[in-house]
Amino acid sequence: MSTCWHKPLKDIPYNPNAAKRLMGDLTELMEWKAKGKLRYWFLTLAHRHHSPISQVFLGPFNKPAIVISDYREVSDILSRRDGLHFKRGIKVDSFKGIIPHSFSAMETFDPRFKPNREMAKGLMAPSWLFNTNSRYIYRGALDIVRIWRTNPQLEPRSSRDVANDIKSFAFATIWAAAFGFPLGGFDESESSKSLITIADDESRTQESDRRAARTQWPEEFQSLNILADALAKSFYSPFPRLYHAINNLRPAVRNAWRTMGKHTSSYNIHTDPNTVSSARNALYQQEHRIAEKEGRKFDPEDPRSYLLAGYDTTAGAIIWCVRHLFAHPDWQDRIRKDLYATYPKAHHEDRLPDYAEIQAERSSLLDAFIEEVLRLTTPVITVMLETRYDTKVLGYHIPANTKVFCNLCQSSQAYVGHMKKESWVHDEPELFKPERWLVKDADDKTRFDPAAGPMLGFSAGNRGCWGQRLAYLEIRIFLAVVLWELKLEGVKEQSWDLYESLVTAPKNTASVIPQSNDHFVLFDNWPY
C-alpha cells in the first residue's frame, strides 16, 4: 500500500495537501477539466509556487510529474535535449493508433524519425505553399466573407457563432491542398457549396438543430473529426495502445477508417502519379520510396497526418485571433488601415488584394497581432515529455522515466522573477500588447520583428510544428480578407469558455455580428 502514497522529489515545490491525498492533484485537475481548462491548470503553478519548476501528483501508483514554466529551460529542452535526455513516451503510442508511420509516432532518437520528417519538409517550401495552398486558402476566406455578409438565415445585426465557420474553413482548405481538388469533388463551385453547408449546419443556435444537421455533414469532415477526437482522448489515457485497440472496434470509428481509405483509393484513380499537384501526391511518392528503402509494406496513410496537423491547430489559432479582435476592437481598425497602406494598388482600385499580393507583401501590424495572440493563447499549451535517464532541470535532480510538462503558452511571463530585461519583464508581459513585436528599421519605418522576444507558440526543435509556415500563411490570408471586407462586432459579455480537443480554443467565438465594410465591393463571381 505504501506505493499508493506520494513521495515528493527533493526541494521541488508542490502542494502539501495534494501530497496527502490518494488522488493527489487529480481532484483539483478534474475540477478544471469540467470547466474546459484542464491544460490551463498547468499554467497556474508557476505563480502559485513562485517558482519556474514545480511537481504534481497525478493519482495513485504514479511518480511525481514535473511542470516547467521557464522559457529558456523549455526552449533548451525542446531544441537541444529532446532525444538525448528526454523522450516522448506514451505520446508516441497515442499517435501510433492513428498515424503509425508519421514521424509524430516516432521517438526523436528513432532512426526513422529524421527521414520521415524530411519527407514532409517540401510541403512547407514557399513555392509549394504559393502554388498549392494559397489559392485554396484565399477562396475559402472569400466564401467565409460571403457567409458572414449575405447568409439569408441572418436578419440584420443578428448574431452568428463563427467558431464553427472557422473550423469548416480550415477543413475545406486543408482538404483541397491535400488532395488537389476542392471538398465535394473536382468542381470548385461544389467546394463553396460544401463549405457553406458545413458552416450553416455548425452555426445553428439550437443544440437540437445541430444534432439533426450532423447527418448532412460531408463524410470526409465527419471522419476526420472522429479520428481527431480519438487521438485527443488517447492523450488522457494511461494506456493509449489499449485505448485505440478498443476504440477502433466502435462502428463509427471503423466507418471513419473506411472513409479515409476510400478517398485514398479514389485519389490514386483520379490523379496522375507522375504529376506532383497536391500534398497527397507528394507524400504518396515519398512514402513509396521510404517504404521500399525500409523494406516494409507501402502504407498510403500520410494524408491523415497532413490533415490533422493542418486542420484543428490552424482553426484553433484563427479562432483565438478572432476572439482577440472582439476583445480589442481598436486593433481591427489599426490593422485595416495598415492593410490599405500595405496594398495601395488594391485600395486605390476598390478591390481585395489577391492571394499573390498578400503572400508577397506583409502587413507589419497584422503579423504583430498574430504573434501576440499566439504568445498568450497558443492552441497547444503544454508539451509532455519523459526523462530517458536521470538528469537535471534548472539544477534539480529528476529521475529517469519522470513525466515532464513543458508550458509553451505564457512561458515568457509565467515566472517573471527569473526573466531578464530583454524578455519584457518590465513591459507587462502578461498583457496583450502586439506593439511589442514592432521595431524601427534603419529608415525609421515600423516593421515586424519575430525575434523581438520569447515565443514558443509552435514549440521548438526537431519536434516543433513542421507546418508553421502553412499556419502563418493561412491565418494571415484569412484575417487580411476578413478585415478588409468586414467589421466584426461581438455581442456584449462574450464568454471565454474553452473547449479542449487536440487543441485549446474558445468554445464559442461568440455570436459575432458581422458588419459590412461598405467602402469595398465584394465580388459576386469569385475570380480565384
Q: Is 472 exposed, middle or buried (0-12, 13-18, 19+ CB in 10 A)?
A: buried
465 annotated to bind ligand? yes
Phi-psi sector, 290: left (phi>0), alpha (psi -120 to 50), beta = alpha
Separation between Cα atoms, residue 133 and residue 473, nearest integer Å = 9
Q: Is 167 exposed, middle or buried (0-12, 13-18, 19+ CB in 10 A)?
A: buried
Backbone torsions φ then ψ of 368, nearest 5 degrees: -65, -40
- Residue ranges of alpha helices (H) inside 154-235 are 163-179, 188-202, 207-213, 219-235
Separation between Cα atoms, residue 297 and residue 287, nearest integer Å = 10
Beta bridge partners of 438: 448
Q: Which of 431, 59, 438, 407 is nearest to 236 (CA)?
A: 59
Helix, coil or strand: residue 6 = coil
Amino acid present at 182: P
Grid coordinates in use for 368? 504583430
Q: How many CA atoms are closer than 13 Å to the CA of 200, on its beta-carbon side?
A: 17
Separation between Cα atoms, residue 272 and residue 267, nearest integer Å = 9
Residue in the structure block whose three cell numbers are 527569473: 418
Separation between Cα atoms, residue 120 and residue 493, nearest integer Å = 43
Q: Contact, 10 vs 397, CB < 8 A?
A: yes
Give the DSSP letter of residue 9.
P
Rg (CA), the chain: 23
Helix, coil or strand: residue 149 = helix
Binding-site residue numbers are 465
Binding-site positions for heme: 465
